[in-house]
Amino acid sequence: MTITTEHAIIHEIAQDGQGQMRCRLRPQPLLNRQAVDTMLDELHQSYSSKAGKGFGFFGTHTEDGEANEAFSQALTQYRNGDLGFVEFSSNASQLLQEELSKYDFSQGGFLLLSCYTHMASDYLFVALLSAKSSMTVLDDMELSQNNHLDLNNIQLAARIDLTEWQADKESRKYISFIRGRAGRKVADFFLDFMGCVEGINTKAQNKSLMHAVEDFVSSSELTKDERQECRNRVFDYCTERANEGTDIEVKDLADELADQGAESFYDFAANGRYELDDEFPADKASLRQLKKFSGTGGGVTLSFDGGHLGERVIYDPVSDTILIKGVPANLKDQLDRRMKGE
């Protein structure tokens, strides 16, 4: 178990007979501690490793800001001891119900709120869960249909780093959230009920880091193998941070590369050209370019390990061609059979 659960509760938001959204509030926290700890530990691990999350902070969307500050105000009261957890969660559920009532597309769901501690940081996890139907076989070999929470397909979830929120008022990334499959707008209503504003472009920061790393190794007097080793170190460090759910720290990364040339990577990256923050979340999709080259276009998809460039894979920018030495066996078999058929 990697987390310590303080409180957890589930409320239901669903349509009534007239099609209006209504809350069904639970009057006390969840009592089955073993089941709660197991579920939240699983959710924490899967959420931390999920790629493509957005990051933000409590802000306002409306001119007066009153509606959007209700969640953060209630959370402040809870953290100050002026509001109990059940009362806070009930307020949050009603805020989400009001937000959902503005839209026609939502069927509601089960709102999970949980406060827990992981590695000396306090978190609030907020997720709107859906129920999924499944079939099971009873003792008498009869079929029975059951509903269970779909924990493997969570699309509406956010996690607030309560420790960072209260310690650093200038932070713009203490709230993380899952981006919708079709982009952030799919989850706008979920962020709006919390008053969350996107505060940092994680993908842009990671791409700037990748550019800085490439420029750094290109400008240093390293061999081809040493350059790839440098990229591998960056990839391993950033991937580890992504899996842990912690930020990339440019100074720490520079220490990892301390023996890769005379110039400090931290000084190199801080020259203003890359516009890098000292700390920012990792984005796994952006990190892959340290290991692989890939692209799709015109009916052709190509991907290969970066270490093969200049050896098995020869790129000629003048003629706009790529020569591959040693065609993969399964591809070679397909090509040979096609050639024989023609």
Model confidence pLDDT, tens digit, residues 287-330? 888 888 888 888 888 888 888 888 888 888 888 899 998 888 89
Every domain of the chain and the residues it spans: 4-200, 203-288, 292-341
Q: 203, 21, 201, 241: which is closest to 111 by C-alpha?
A: 21
| pTM summary value | 0.76
Q: Is 53 helix (H, G, I), strand (E, B) or coil?
A: coil
Q: Cα–Cα distance between 49 and 149 in angstroms, integer? A: 20
Residue-wise pLDDT for 131-180, tens only, equals: 887 888 888 888 888 877 888 888 889 999 999 999 998 899 999 998 76
User: Please, what sign has the CA dihedral across residues 252, 256, 258, 263?
Assistant: negative
User: Please, what sign has the CA dihedral across residues 322, 218, 222, 206?
Assistant: negative
Q: Cα–Cα distance between 123 and 118 in angstroms, integer? A: 8
Q: Cα–Cα distance between 57 and 175 in angstroms, integer? A: 5
Per-residue pLDDT of the chain (342 residues; tens, 9 = 90+): 578 999 999 999 988 877 788 899 999 999 998 999 999 998 988 888 787 788 999 986 544 444 478 999 999 999 999 999 999 999 999 999 988 888 776 678 899 999 999 888 999 999 999 888 788 888 888 888 887 788 888 888 999 999 999 999 889 999 999 876 544 455 688 889 999 988 888 888 999 999 999 898 888 878 888 888 888 899 999 988 888 778 899 999 998 888 765 468 888 888 768 888 888 888 888 888 888 888 888 888 888 888 888 888 888 888 889 999 888 889 888 888 888 876
